[in-house]
Amino acid sequence: MMSPAARFINLLFATLLLLALGAHAQTAKLPNVTILATGGTIAGTGSTSTTTVGYTAATVGVQSLIKAVPELAKVANVTGEQVFQIASENMGNEHWLTLAKRVNVLLAQANVDGIVITHGTDTMEETAYFLNLVVKSRKPVVLVGAMRPSTALSADGPINLYNAVLLAGSPDAVGKGVMVAMNDQIHAARDVTKTNTSTPDAFKTPELGMLGYFQGNRALFYHQPIRKHTADTEFDVSALTSLPQVDIAYGYANVGPTVVDALVAAGAKGLIHAGVGDGSLAAKVLPSLKAARAKGVIIVRASRVGQGILARNGEANDDALDFVASDTLNPQKARILLMLALTKTNNTRDIQRMFYTY
Ligand code: ASP
């Protein structure tokens, strides 16, 4: 017969053992998230804590970014890789191909549940949309950055990174395509855009709406993307080492043919015309666009306005001109879809279908 004291000690040990096992099980249950670091302001440093402009982007390494947010360990088993260390205005097609291939390799591994990509904010929406079209997995891929450098008072990088890791490890994020996590909000790659040069609320999905919020240590969804993405696209970059040259010509009052002519002479295979209004074509530019099309260059009409559907056969007779309408894609995202489209076809009807699909 056990004494009451011995029974109490036995009970105490049994409880401690159960608690320890429970804690272990919880750690083992945490998702595995890989952070791929590419640079940007989230990895930037300024000379003082109040330096929020005139700082240097892309100086802090991925391990330091992770160390700065110990809370990450509570929501995921995090590993980091430094893929590039650049300001995102220097992001190029070759960077995208390298990044996409690495993401696809990692997501094919059973021990990777999601990916976070730290990135400069200037071209984050472009990298996000490119990956949205070429990642071959339904696992979450989340881009994150910061509007203030890591050394600033109220730097937004650490909380943004925490939210991004939370999202990349969330089962609710599976199948939602590539996302952007900024300022406590979740945005879809296709529709998000940077709308402010410097404030922390720069990323918005105007009109079409963001996907959700972060609150109470949870990623909360209210919408989901409708356009096809990731595992459901027809694009495959695994064998590509370059992308077709596609450039953007901007529309404005008094515009002439110089830029279009120069881009075609420089070898563009496709041109995005970022027209005024609903993609209107100035009379002085139209002959150059027609001549470019006659040479085989694919012309996509987009708008510099930022909202709304670019109406096919609206401000121009696209059927007669054999041009393509960008639908709701902004010019910089239309450029990405056209580059990928040109890896598959030169047929404008097929390309128009892609613009209505992705
Ligand atoms: N120029 C920086 C970049 O895009 C700005 C930022 O990250 O916010 O890398």
Secondary structure of residue 192 in the 3-state scheme? coil
- Residue 51 CA, distance from chain mean position: 27
pLDDT of 4? 57
Assess whether pLDDT exceeds 50 at residue 58: yes
**Alpha-carbon span 205 to 194, nearest angstrom:** 9
pLDDT band at 19 (very low <50, low <70, confident <90, very high): very low
pLDDT at 7 over 80: no
Ligand 1 atom nearest to 145, measured from its CA: 7
For 295-328, write each residue's pLDDT tens digit.
Answer: 999 999 999 999 999 999 999 999 999 999 999 9
DSSP per residue, 210-243: --EEEETTEEEES----S--GGGSS---TT-S--
Q: Is 15 a catalytic residue?
A: no
326 lines ligand 1 (CB under 6 A): no
pLDDT category at 82 given cuts 50, 70, 90 is very high
Residue-level pLDDT at 10: 57
What percentage of the chain exceeds 90 in pLDDT? 92
- What number of residues does the chain have? 358
Laid out side by side, the sheet with 298-303 consists of 246-250, 270-275, 298-303, 324-325
CB 166 within 8 A of CB 219: yes
Q: What is the mean pLDDT of the chain?
A: 94
Evaluate: CB of 122 within 6 angstroms of ligand 1: yes
Stretch 224-247: mean pLDDT, rounded? 98
pLDDT tens digits, one per residue of 326-356: 999 999 999 999 999 999 999 999 999 999 9
Ligand 1 centroid from CA 201, angstroms: 14
Q: Under a CB-based contact definition with an 8 Å cutoff, are residues 301 and 324 in contact?
A: yes
Q: Which two three-digit tokens encode residue 3?
A: 């004494």
Which atom of ligand 1 sits closest to the CA of residue 123? 4
Mutate to test the pocket of ligand 1, among 85, 89, 122 (most ligand atoms within 8 A of CB): 122
Q: Of 45, 55, 90, 121, which is best to mutate to test ligand 1, by the most ligand atoms within 8 angstroms of its C-beta?
A: 121
Centre of ligand 1 to C-alpha 188, Å, is 19
- List Cβ<8 Å contacts ≥24 apart for 264-269: 264/288, 264/291, 264/292, 264/295, 264/297, 268/292, 268/297, 269/244, 269/245, 269/296, 269/297, 269/298, 269/342
Measured from the CA of 86, which atom of ligand 1 is nearest? 9
CB 120 within 8 A of CB 57: yes
Whether residue 161 contacts residue 41, with contact meaning beta carbons closer than 8 Å, is answered with: no
Closest alpha carbon to 196 in 127, 122, 115: 122
Dump pLDDT digits (tens) for 256-272: 999 999 999 999 999 99
